[in-house]
Amino acid sequence: MQTQRLRIAIQKKGRLSKECQDLLKRCGVKFNMMGERLVVHSENMPIDLLLVRDDDIPGLIMDGVVDLGVIGENELEEVGLERAARNEPSDYKKLRRLDFGGCRLSIAIDKDATYNGPQDLQGKRIATTYPQLVKRYMDEQGVTFSPCMLNGSVEVAPRAGLADAICDLVSTGATLEANGLKEAAVILRSKAVLIQCTADLGAEKQALIDRLLTRMQGVIQAKE
């Protein structure tokens, strides 16, 4: 399915969606978000926005289904590791790091527990949505652990007796605090990034991407 319109995948609803839409608008891409539509056509440029779950964006790029995507580095790296482990395509081009979506992926433990380093996590069960990133970190530290995969409510796992610790995104720290947890180790610092699929998109699309990137540079610099 070839199309001359540039396809950009963005998060439908969540921590990146508003700032991502704002960025595109500031870059001069006119569109009207309404209803529950999956595809939104720009009114003034040959661009289609695909509104999807953030978890799906890395795979859509790596399979070459869409041309560009905006995604958090945490999700991008997790999916990349997962796909590489299954021998599925995991390549992409990082066009630029953006100025929003900042967070850290951290291991958190009971606020009253002592923590002297990763060895204290030896043999523990860790609840997370990012098992690949946790495994990469723990392997680097030479520490073994048991995973507890949860797509949501990770922060309640210790209290619910499902896990000893968690590894989840931290932004303000309010979620950890509200759940009696404290940050023990930061394993990744993440921001939103603009990525492109590795396929050759042809001169016209590539010229449009280059134009968008130039505008983005200006928009981001103006905010600094």
**Footprint on this chain of ligand PRP (rule: CB under 6 A):** 15, 152, 154-155, 168-175
> Phi/psi zone of residue 115: left (φ > 0), alpha (ψ -120 to 50 degrees), beta?
beta
Is 63 near Zn ion (CB under 5 A)?
no
Residue with tokens 């040959």: 46
Alpha-helical runs (H) found in the chain: 17-26, 57-62, 73-85, 131-141, 174-178, 203-223
Query: Which partner from the list Zn ion, ligand PRP, none does 54 bind, CB cut-off 5 to 8 Å by kind?
Result: Zn ion
How many C-beta atoms lie closer than 10 Å to residue 148's C-beta? 19
| Between 17 and 141, CB nearer to ligand PRP | 17
Nearer to ligand PRP, 101 or 212 (CB): 101
Find the shortest distance in angstroms from Cβ 116 to Zn ion.
Answer: 32
CB 72 to ligand PRP: min, Å: 9
- Given the complex with ligand PRP, which of 122 and 171 has the nearer CB atom? 171
- CA of residue 29 relative to chain centroid, distance: 23
Q: Does 55 bind Zn ion (CB under 5 A)?
A: yes
Nearer to ligand PRP, 5 or 15 (CB): 15
User: What's the min distance (Å) between Cβ of 202 and ligand PRP?
Assistant: 35
Contact call for residue 54 and Zn ion (CB under 5 A): yes
Do 194 and 101 meet the contact criterion of CB atoms below 8 Å apart?
Answer: no
Q: How far apart are CA 102 and CA 156, in angstroms?
A: 23
Q: Which does 89 bind (CB under 5 to 8 A by kind): Zn ion, ligand PRP, none?
A: none
Nearer to ligand PRP, 49 or 169 (CB): 169
d(CA 81, CA 103): 20
Whole-number Cα distances in Å, 11 to 6, 57, 62, 131, 217: 16, 8, 16, 21, 21
- Is 164 a binder of Zn ion (CB under 5 A)? no
Q: Which is nearer to Zn ion, 32 or 171 (CB)?
A: 171
Q: What is the closest distance, in whole angstroms, from the C-beta atom of residue 171 to ligand PRP in the complex?
A: 4
Q: How far is CA 208 from CA 100, 154, 195, in A?
A: 23, 40, 15
Q: 169 is in the binding site of which of ligand PRP, Zn ion, none (Cβ under 5 to 8 A by kind)?
A: ligand PRP
Tell me which amino acid residue 195 is: I
Spell out the residues 6+ positions from residue 22 whose beta carbon is closer than 8 angstroms to its own. none
**Residues contributing to the site for Zn ion (CB under 5 A):** 54-55
